[in-house]
């Protein structure tokens, strides 16, 4: 397996585009994206666990209930959530895709992201569809990645090449996410495409299993949004024998998917609203995987710990504090904590108690833009990773006037 270029268009038979159609006032920001497969594809998705859900999620669930999709349309700048005509607008967006691409409306994944509770005007989307469809190209995946951004500062895309039964397959993805991100999904939209052939059941199994260790281990600010969605489209154009059961081929597919999702997790966490540092908590030595997950998530979600990381303060007591209230069944007397970055590693806690360390060395380590928080929970065989970012003054600035 190797990382390749191409993003969401790396796989055979996928084209994409992104434009500014007028939903957002800033003309320099793209706000409408389209991804189309040459042929109908097997589809799977996971959605936010928030009881308040955007209309596009309701429409998408219905559209891919048969496990088939061929296109994705997504707008930024407006979430189309809590609107009386939200379903109507989402269905109309699907109909526009059919009109301009020939893809059946019932095979369209619809997504929206942006402000909640404001009506979404269909007119800009309608006016932009001719340009959007005309620009569909295997070279325009980056434009689609840009068009789904809201407060993101960078586009997020990744692709890999892997082998299934001797056939070369490709998988790529784009994501948006910067704020309102918390385990159990986020204000996160992720669109993944692959030319591997895999059954509907196995595709959904792969995605549902993967997110428990990736996107559901990601937190920026503790807020679970209303529009989160991760979709995978697999069009089978690589020509491999269809994956219909667990085994070597399924494992190869899972490895490719996990490579994509972990990279996107890191990109999202590193681009958290106002963030200056990517934080990764690595928990080891747990007697159960769930114990490691609970502990790692609690540490990455701690506002006090996030603020300490912003200030490059090796306040390891906040790590133990977060583990202590997490609900994880751990022996505090066995916990160890270290901080690691490109500048080295510093141990700050062993067996639940502090150890002497150089504050100057620790600060140098924590001034880097990627920090690993290493927690040892004992001598068990299980571990987990969680991703997040530091908490800065700019997070409040961004969200203090997000709507206005």
Q: Which residues are catalytic, by number? A: 187
The partner residues of 3 in beta bridges, in order of sequence, read 160
Q: What are the distances in angstroms from CA 72 to CA 15, 110, 242, 350?
A: 11, 6, 23, 50
Alpha carbon distance 285, 352 (integer Å):
14
Instruction: Please give the distance of CA 396 from its chain centroid, rounded to a whole number.
Output: 22
CB-CB neighbours of 222 under 10 Å: 14
Alpha carbon distance 222, 181 (integer Å):
6
The tokens describing 63, both together, are 């559209």
Q: If we measure between CA atoms, which residue out of 265, 188, 219 comes closest to residue 395? A: 219
Q: If you compute the radius of gyration of the chain from its CA atoms, what whole number of angstroms results?
A: 21
The partner residues of 2 in beta bridges, in order of sequence, read 161
Q: What are the distances in angstroms from CA 317 to CA 276, 326, 364?
A: 22, 14, 19
Torsion sign (Cα): 329, 331, 332, 335:
negative
With beta carbons less than 8 A apart as the criterion, state whether 328 and 299 touch.
no
């Amino acid at each position: 397996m190797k990382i390749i270029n191409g993003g969401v268009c790396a796989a055979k038979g996928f084209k994409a585009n992104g434009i500014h159609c007028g939903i957002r006032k800033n003309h320099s920001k793209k706000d409408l994206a389209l991804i189309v497969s040459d042929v109908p594809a097997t589809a799977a998705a996971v959605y936010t666990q928030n009881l308040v859900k955007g209309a596009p999620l309701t429409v998408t669930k219905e559209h891919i209930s048969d496990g088939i999709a061929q296109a994705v349309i997504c707008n930024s700048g407006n979430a189309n959530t809590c609107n009386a005509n939200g379903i109507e607008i989402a269905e109309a967006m699907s109909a526009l895709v059919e009109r301009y691409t020939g893809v059946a409306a019932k095979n369209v994944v619809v997504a929206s992201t942006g402000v909640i509770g404001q009506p979404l005007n269909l007119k800009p989307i309608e006016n932009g569809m001719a340009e959007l469809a005309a620009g569909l190209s295997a070279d325009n995946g980056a434009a689609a990645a840009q068009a789904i951004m809201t407060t993101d500062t960078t586009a997020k895309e990744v692709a890999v090449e892997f082998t299934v039964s001797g056939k070369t397959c490709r998988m790529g993805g784009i994501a948006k996410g910067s704020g309102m991100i918390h385990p159990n999904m986020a204000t996160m939209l992720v669109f993944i495409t692959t030319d591997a052939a895999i059954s509907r059941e196995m595709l959904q199994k792969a995605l549902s299993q993967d997110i428990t260790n990736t996107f559901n281990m990601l937190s920026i600010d503790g807020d679970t949004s209303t529009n989160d969605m991760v979709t995978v489209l697999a069009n089978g154009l690589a020509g491999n024998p269809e994956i219909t059961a667990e085994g070597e081929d399924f494992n190869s597919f899972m490895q490719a998917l996990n490579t994509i999702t972990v990279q996107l997790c890191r990109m999202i966490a590193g681009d958290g609203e106002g963030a200056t540092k990517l934080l990764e908590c690595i928990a080891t030595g747990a007697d159960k995987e769930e114990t490691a997950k609970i502990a790692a998530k609690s540490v990455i979600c701690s506002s006090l710990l996030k603020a300490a990381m912003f200030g490059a303060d090796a306040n390891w007591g906040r790590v133990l504090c977060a583990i202590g209230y997490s609900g994880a069944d751990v022996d505090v007397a066995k916990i160890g904590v270290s901080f690691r970055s490109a500048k080295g590693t510093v141990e700050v806690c062993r067996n639940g108690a502090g150890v002497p360390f150089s504050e100057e060395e620790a600060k140098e380590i924590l001034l880097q833009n990627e920090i690993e928080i290493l927690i040892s929970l004992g001598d068990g065989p299980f571990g987990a990773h969680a991703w997040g970012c530091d908490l800065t003054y700019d997070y409040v600035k961004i969200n203090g006037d997000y709507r206005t």
